Amino acid sequence: MPTIKSLVQDAVLRLRLSGVEGPRRDAELIVGHVLGLERASVIARGDDPVEPAAAARIEALAAERAGRRPMAQILGRREFWSLNFKVTEATLDPRPDTETLVEAVLAVIGLRRWQALRILDLGTGTGCILAALLTECPAAKGVGVDRSAAAAAVARENMSALELGGRATIVEGDWCADLSGPFDVIVSNPPYIPEADMARLAPEVRLFEPRAALTPGGDGLGAYRLIIGQVGAVAAPGAIVGFEVGIGQSEAVAALMVAAGLGPVTIRPDLAGIGRAVLGRAPG
């Protein structure tokens, strides 16, 4: 009968040969996921035997990871803003970079976070941005919009699991179309990868995450143009409007916002110093 340690070692070798970054970390997480153990326990209990059915499940998941399926899809979850979110093939994997947008918006909201704000999250995916903001703004209510019915269903599950279902409404829709405002805070992490860059993405992203949530085609700015053109119809006077942007896009998105009367605009860098969040305000 295999042991925890031998299964981890076999998985590490398989993942390393497949070019997976951090193969030991992922191997230990997979073993822990199947056995219901924290990573520290996987290490501490390395000599424990593993039943054949569980060993087979570990080997199957290691094979999926070797095929470059993202860990979030294998585990079915991802932590964001210290909250746990269900993740499926219908949603983007919540990324630490996106916390930059949440931080930037909260900094502008300031003490207004205790007010009954109305928040709109366009392209909500897992609902991670909306959930993070609602968690920090306990009197707020929000609407999350996604074109994908499958993604919207995941977002609803997440809101319910986080006990935010009473304050969050998730709808299927096309950006601001058919929405009734006004909203005090409008945020979006839209598809922004230029078409020419898609082939260079990591296999975990290129092969497994929903293409429609990654790229709008062309120069990658199409979704920003659409949203910026629509947002005035649902924004409250002085509403905060914030976007996550890709590498090298912050100035272009800022210019689009200024041209639409959403200035002055500020750009907030992520931990790598890359302009990641662009914030402006609706007139009034």
Would you state the structure tokens that stand for residue 38, as one six-digit string?
């924290």
Q: Is 88 annotated as a binding residue?
A: no
**Residue 263 annotated in ligand binding:** no
76 marked as binding residue: no
Q: What is the pLDDT of residue 214?
A: 95
CATH 1.10.8.10 domain extents, the chain:
4-67
158 is in an annotated binding site: no
What's residue 263's pLDDT? Answer: 86
Could you tell me how far CA 219 lies from the centroid of its own chain?
21
Judge whether 49 is annotated as a binding position: no
On whether 123 is known to bind a ligand per the annotation, the reply is yes
Number of H helices, E strands in the chain: 12, 9
Q: 190: annotated binding-site residue?
A: yes
Is CATH 3.40.50.200 the classification given to domain 4-67?
A: no
Q: Does 32 count as an annotated binding residue?
A: no
Whether residue 248 is annotated as binding a ligand: the answer is: no
Within 10 A of 62 (CB to CB), how many other CB atoms are there? 27
Residue 178 has what pLDDT?
87
Three-class DSSP category at 173: coil
Given this model, what pLDDT does residue 203 score? 95
Q: What is the pLDDT of residue 1?
A: 86
Whether omega for the bond prior to residue 182 falls within 30 degrees of 0, making it cis, is yes
The pLDDT value given to residue 2: 94
Residue-level pLDDT at 162: 98
269 is in an annotated binding site: no
Q: What is the pLDDT along the chain (284 residues), one digit of tens a residue?
A: 899 999 999 999 999 999 999 999 999 999 999 999 999 999 999 999 999 999 999 999 999 999 999 999 999 999 999 999 999 999 999 999 999 999 999 999 999 999 999 999 999 999 999 999 999 999 999 999 999 999 999 999 999 999 999 999 999 999 999 898 899 999 999 999 999 999 999 999 999 999 999 999 999 999 999 999 999 999 999 999 999 999 999 999 999 999 999 989 999 999 999 999 999 999 98
273 labelled ligand-binding: no
* Positions of CATH 3.40.50.150 in the chain: 92-281
Q: In the CATH hierarchy, which top-level class contains the domain 92-281?
A: alpha beta
- pTM for the complete prediction? 0.94
